[in-house]
Homo-oligomer: A and B are copies of this chain.
Amino acid sequence: MTARPLRELLRVPVGERPDLGRIDPAATPGGPADKTAGRAATAAMARPLASLQERLYAASTAGDRRRLLLVLQGMDTSGKGGTVKHVIGLFNPSGCRIQSFKAPTPEEREHPFLWRIEKALPQPGEIGIFDRSHYEDVLIARVRELAPRSRIDGRYAQINRFEESLAEDGVSVVKVFLHIGYEEQRARLLARLDNPDKHWKFSTADIDERALWPAYQEAYELALERCSSDAAPWFVVPADRKWYRNWAVSRLLLEHLEEIGPRYPPGDFDVGECRARLLAT
């Protein structure tokens, strides 16, 4: 394990275009030596994560507006759902606000693309999790030409302004691209086909999307290049190895929560007087 913060190691530098074809999706940068060590290290983060979360929530009861928003993006089968289950599962569920974004509803299509996003933001003290996000509007929208190219091109700047305003309002935005390989996706889709209990997760549309792999990789590279900002950086997490993915996302959350450094607020009452009153009951 490296002493360098993981967020520095995985961060997409501002203005730089990552070459996803050159980032090994099975790599484990900065991570534990193997699966056993990785799982243990992730489990060991459960307590500090839950403790920081409780402080974050407690601070909000005294007016602290800070909160965290984890944005999860990645190709089909990249493990967005698994990350929520295994990483967000380490937290107290009552402080988590999870939103999964599907294809926009007719009502959502009537509004600007950030409308449904704004409605799902975490409140002060909460940890918000987006399983897909406003980035779909520059990913599938670009690849599938769901809007004129000029409109899509305008969205990157809109996203940057939006995320900057979030940061100014106390939201630590942690954007994670779960990077899996083309071969690994095939294996995972085949595994779904081979297990009837997983058929509900499979759709023939998944194969159609897979055929557009190069276009998606390009759209991701563009989004990572244009929208990795100081206010809201992107992190590329190699995700072929699930144990590394879970460890890395946990670690990124831990580093960000430690940076926030929330503190329990003091009480606004006289402890001795309250004690006496209680003991008299």
How many whole Å from A120's CB to the nearest CB in chain B? 13
Quick check: B96 and A204 within 8 Å, CB to CB?
no
Name the interface residues of A150-195: CB closer than 8 Å to any CB of B.
Answer: 186, 189-190, 193
- Identical subunits present: 2
- Residues on B with C-beta less than 8 A from A37 are none
How many whole Å from A172's CB to the nearest CB in chain B? 19
Chain B, residue nearest A275 (CB):
B193
User: DSSP majority for the A interface?
Assistant: helix
Chain B, residue nearest A98 (CB):
B94
Provide the bound-state CA to CA distance between A47 and B201, in Å. Answer: 20
Quick check: A271 and B193 within 8 Å, CB to CB?
yes
Chain B, residue nearest A60 (CB):
B200
Quick check: B278 and A193 within 8 Å, CB to CB?
yes
Provide the bound-state CA to CA distance between A278 and B208, in Å. Answer: 10
Binds B, one of A232-240, A253-261, A262-270: A262-270
Name the interface residues of A195-222: CB closer than 8 Å to any CB of B.
Answer: 196-197, 199-204, 207, 210-211
CB within 8 Å for A189 and B278 given contacts A199-B264, A200-B62, A265-B200 = yes
- Residues on B with C-beta less than 8 A from A81 are 94
Provide the bound-state CA to CA distance between A58 and B202, in Å. Answer: 11
Quick check: B93 and A202 within 8 Å, CB to CB?
no
Chain B, residue nearest A204 (CB):
B269
Quick check: B267 and A186 within 8 Å, CB to CB?
no
User: Can you list 18 contacts pairing A with B, beta carbon distance less than 8 Å?
Assistant: A58-B200, A58-B201, A62-B200, A81-B94, A85-B93, A94-B98, A186-B278, A190-B278, A193-B274, A193-B278, A196-B267, A199-B269, A200-B264, A200-B265, A203-B269, A204-B274, A207-B277, A210-B281
A: residues with CB less than 8 A from B are: 58, 61-62, 81, 84-85, 88-89, 91-94, 96, 98, 100, 131, 186, 189-190, 193, 196-197, 199-204, 207, 210-211, 264-267, 269, 271, 274-275, 277-279, 281
